[in-house]
Structure formats: structure tokens, C-alpha cells
Amino acid sequence: MDSTQLGRAGELALSLYGLVTSDGRLELFSPVADDDHVDLVAGLKGGLPVLGIQVKTTDGLDKSGLVEARASYIPGEVRNDPAFLYAILLIESVKIQALWIVPSPDFNRLAYRTATAGREVLEFRASPNQDDDFAGFRIDPLRVGPALMTRIESASTSPPEWLRALAGQVVR
């Protein structure tokens, strides 16, 4: 698969795992466009979306045995909001092998930063099975539904403006 197909497969896998592991209580939707670095919005069934999720997907480890993902932004536009999460997936076929759910303030603090071609790049590197800076955000893929529901339930009852704008463009 090319990187676009792999990315979409990760979004679909996260949606499937979230739906199944929450007994249908978690709803994940895809915005029509990914202009705002939001691949999925999440909410509880019958409620409004309260989380935006950027999904990063890989199907293999790097030469050091780590999962690697990058997020690239225009300088000064890195989103830093507890309602914005990164979901990093290591997938094999249709199985999620490893999964991290990282709130953007933590991702921004822990990711390695570089500047490339006028872009600010945040680089995630973590082991799928050993302790490192991101280990506290690694979750069992079969617990993704409950993990996201907990975040939704603890989120503000008033979604941020950027998320309200996205809620109008979701594909069900």
C-alpha cells in the first residue's frame, strides 16, 4: 500500500476497533477534508463530537525497532489542545499491533522537533513493547473504545470552535 492507503487503513482500523470495543457507544466520523490535520472526530452515541484525532499509521518498525510517525505544520500552527489527540498505529494486515493515544500537549512536549522546507515537523518515535517517553500513552488496541470514551466523558461539554466547525463536515 502507498502512504495514503496505509493512512486510510489506519483510520478505518481505529474506527472499527473503537466501535467494537465500546459496544457501539463510541462514534467516530471522518471530516470531508483533512485541511486541519483532523482525520476523525469522536463523540458518544447521541452526543456531539468532542475530540479531534490525527491518525498516524505505519506497517513496520524502523531499523532501530521503533514506530516512527511525523506531523508537519506551518511554523506556529501546531495545535496544542487537550481535545486534539494523536493516535499512532502499528498495523499488520487488519490487526492493530500497537497503539498510542497521545493528547497534543503531551505529543508536542515529547516529540522531536525539526524545521524542514519551511515546515515545523514533530517526530514520534516509540517502542511497541519497551519503556520510553511515550510508553504511558500506549494502550491495548482492544481497549481503545473505553480509552476514548473516558477522554470524551472528561472533555469539556463545549467543544472548541475548531471542532464545532469540523462537526458540520463529517461523513457518516
Give the CATH number of the domain where residue 30 resides: 3.40.1350
The answer to the question of residue 123 being in a domain is: no
What are the helix (H) ranges across the chain? 3-21, 104-110, 144-154, 161-167
Instruction: Report the number of distinct structural domains present in the chain.
Output: 1
**Going along the chain, which residue ranges are E strands?**
26-31, 40-44, 51-58, 67-73, 84-92, 95-103, 112-116, 119-126, 138-139, 170-171
The answer to the question of residue 71 being in a domain is: no
pTM, whole model, 2 decimals?
0.86
The answer to the question of residue 56 being in a domain is: yes
In angstroms, how far apart are the furthest CA atoms of the chain? 44
The answer to the question of residue 85 being in a domain is: yes
* Beta strands 84-92 and 51-58, pairing class: parallel
The answer to the question of residue 135 being in a domain is: yes
The string of pLDDT tens digits covering residues 39-98 is 999 999 998 889 999 999 999 999 999 999 999 999 988 999 999 999 999 999 889 999
Burial class (CB in 10 A: 0-12, 13-18, 19+), 83: buried
* DSSP three-state, residue 24: coil
The string of pLDDT tens digits covering residues 123-153 is 999 999 999 999 999 999 999 999 999 999 9
Residue span of the structural domain in which 38 resides: 3-61+80-104+131-171
CB 25 within 8 A of CB 44: yes
Lowest mean pLDDT of 22-26, 108-112, 151-155, 161-165, name the range.
161-165
The string of pLDDT tens digits covering residues 1-30 is 899 999 999 999 999 999 999 999 999 999
Decide if pLDDT at 163 tops 70: no
Contacts of 144 (CB under 8 A, 6+ apart): 14, 17, 18, 21, 96, 99, 101
Say how far apart CA 170 and CA 172 lie, in whole Å.
6
The answer to the question of residue 111 being in a domain is: no
